[in-house]
Amino acid sequence: MKVTVKSWTGVATWRWVANDDNCGICRMPFDSCCPDCKLPGDDCPLVWGACSHCFHIHCIVKWLHSQPQQQCPMCRQDWKFNNK
């Protein structure tokens, strides 16, 4: 071995993986936060429904609270959180 690796510190950034760029409810990019939050990231996470649609958690919770039926605002299927 000419050169051996003694240690290595990796640096990586993370961002959300979503099927769309913007939240369908608030129309803000997923990379930024919902209108009620100040900082994107762990404080304003995304959630996926069983129907594969994705929203800011604050947005969808607000939506579900305001609706008589628990439906996805994009496809009108019954909303279920996808906990995979």
Dist. CA 55–CA 49, nearest whole Å: 8
In the complex, the smallest distance separating the C-beta of residue 67 from other proteins, rounded to whole angstroms, is 24
CB closer to other proteins out of 22 and 67? 22
CA distance from start to end of the chain: 44
DSSP element (H, E) containing 63: helix 57-66
Q: Taking CB under 8 A as the rule, which mask of x and - marks residues 23-52 in contact with other proteins? A: --------xx-----xxxxx---x-x----
In the complex, the smallest distance separating the C-beta of residue 11 from other proteins, rounded to whole angstroms, is 4
**Whether the Cβ atoms of residue 56 and residue 44 lie closer than 8 Å to each other:** yes
Token pair of 39 as six digits: 């900082």
Q: Which residues bind other proteins (CB under 8 A)?
A: 1-18, 31-32, 38-42, 46, 48, 54, 84
